[in-house]
Amino acid sequence: MKNYLIISPEDNVAVALEDLKPGDSITFPDGSFSIKELVPVKHKFALNDFNTNDRIIMYGVPVGKVLKPIAKGELITTENIKHEAATYAFQNKEYQTPKVDISGLKERSFLGYHRSDGQVGTANYWIFIPMVFCQNRNLKVLREAFEAELGYKKENPYKLQLKKLVSGESAEVFVEDVEKASEKVFENIDGIKFLTHEGGCGGTRADAEALVNLLAGYIKNPNVAGATVMSLGCQHAQISMIQEALTKDINLEKPVLYFEQQQFSSEKEMLMSAVNKTYKELSEVNKITRKPAPLSKLTLGLECGGSDGFSGITANPLIGLVSDKINALGGKSILSEFPELCGVEQDLIDRSPNRDIADKFIHLMESYNKKAHEVGSGFDMNPSPGNIKDGLITDAIKSAGAATKGGRSAIADVLDYAEYATEQGLNLLCTPGNDVESTTGLAGSGANMILFSTGLGTPTGNPVCPVIKIASNSMLPAKMKDIIDFDAGKLVSEGISQEELSNQLIELIIEIASGKKQTCADKLGQDDFIPWKRGVSL
């Protein structure tokens, strides 16, 4: 195997596949040169001499501008280049999605929960939603009751560990012996989830509207069987707003219960009513069982977090290929994180079906970046310290790799935050790059499965949507085995083809979608939920 990788023929930098030391030879069919300084694995080095203001090209697109001369074989750093991305505009090009091999997948199915609106869930949850933050305590009280009495509460092993320490016993605890929940009362309900947040009142009306649309999206999500909505009564986010939001996009026929505290004589009266009515609906929802569904009923959320220098080489392109295959079968995929599309706008515009879709994408990108600049930030400040340490030193480098999660499918639709995905194919969803704000948005736009690549490791999960964590390098699953579901690093470490890895990943998706296997995030109870307030978050 080579000790470097050139991603696109147009690139003038390469990626180190191992630590390269001064004097190490970089060999091409028509010659070779030596590395000038230490280039850590995953970092980039120059393939030719650069002068000040020259452009750095990676993935075939501009990703940076040279700040001072760089010699062939030298390390690319934040000191010698800065972020730069190409300009873009609608060009009215015709685009044909490249064909992918879906032989053997057309007849495959998963066991899912069929909803009357035509969607199919990969899970069956009941959710409790507060319209405003001052209902969070009531949800906490209800959560303690429902989880304990319906068999969803797991024993806390660290509580037992502390108990032993206090009593002077050995503090060794076998987690697998104490984590098990008691037997579930409702066999066909995967869990009762409680979506607390800090919004609903005190912010702008626009914040309240965005929150309401997001919460409505969670109720619409095919993994949700029904909902109990708790309200105070006087807040911006009114029950009438969520009722109206639920009439859009799909023909919703799910049980939704509403409780407004200011209409009850006491908190106790409201909570007892909520328990009684919710229990009755749970008994009905439990009658829904898993039945076969084609893979076209999958809606894949496409996400990355804790990215490293291999993310855009292994895990993200793998996710893109799986996305293309599901879309070719008639399914949907949703690519989010707009700050991480900076630099690849022209490619996405060229894949848009018409000017209206392209213009909506351009408007969302430019207005978002403008707001960031107004508070002294910008998309160029998106890479985290962890990203930079691992070789993603400009937003355009990070974006060019992140965008590969979307594969090569044509763009079906562009969605603003909390809009629901209804179009078959690849949808672009405006969210921040923040992992949890983005995955929260993906589930709110209808994803029934999220594919999440990571190179540095992150436990991120979601209350209602299984999150499959895909490692970009083979060291990560060994180091953080309790949070990683799939190793895409085998493309480099074992030379397994992307095609074979895509087939393996689809088999895992089918297992999880059918309820035969849990994701690591679900095993850990990682129910991350953070609504995006439309201020600046990258």
Helices 136-149 + 267-285 axis angle, to 10: 50
Q: What is the pLDDT of residue 407?
A: 96
The per-residue pLDDT for range 366-386, each reduced to its tens digit, is 999 888 888 777 777 777 888
Please report where in the chains the tokens 């069987």 appear, as a residue.
Answer: 225
- Portion of the chain with pLDDT greater than 70, in percent: 97
Q: What is the pLDDT of residue 387?
A: 84
The per-residue pLDDT for range 447-480, each reduced to its tens digit, is 999 999 999 999 999 999 999 999 999 999 999 9
- Identify the sign of the CA torsion 18, 22, 27, 33: positive
Q: What is the pLDDT of residue 25?
A: 93
pLDDT value at 175 more than 60: no
pLDDT value at 295 more than 60: yes
For the residues 304-317, what does the mean pLDDT come to? 92
CA 229 to the chain's CA centroid = 25
pLDDT tier at 533 (50, 70, 90 boundaries)? confident
What number of residues does the chain have?
538
337-364 burial by CB neighbour count: b if 16+ within 10 A, else e?
bbbbbbbbbbbbbbbbeeeebbebbbeb
Distance CA 196, CA 81 (A): 43
pLDDT value at 180 more than 60: no
pLDDT value at 176 more than 60: no
Q: What is the pLDDT of residue 182?
A: 67
Q: What is the pLDDT of residue 173?
A: 60
Antiparallel, parallel or unpaired: β 449-454 and 425-429: unpaired
Q: What is the pLDDT of residue 397?
A: 87
The per-residue pLDDT for range 78-118, each reduced to its tens digit, is 999 998 877 888 998 889 999 999 999 999 999 999 999 99
The per-residue pLDDT for range 257-280, each reduced to its tens digit, is 999 999 999 999 999 999 999 999
pLDDT value at 177 more than 60: no
pTM, whole model, 2 decimals?
Answer: 0.92
Q: What is the pLDDT of residue 270?
A: 98
Give the sheet arrangement for strand 125-130, strand by strand: 191-194, 125-130, 224-231, 256-260
Contact in structure between 473 and 451 (CB atoms under 8 Å): no
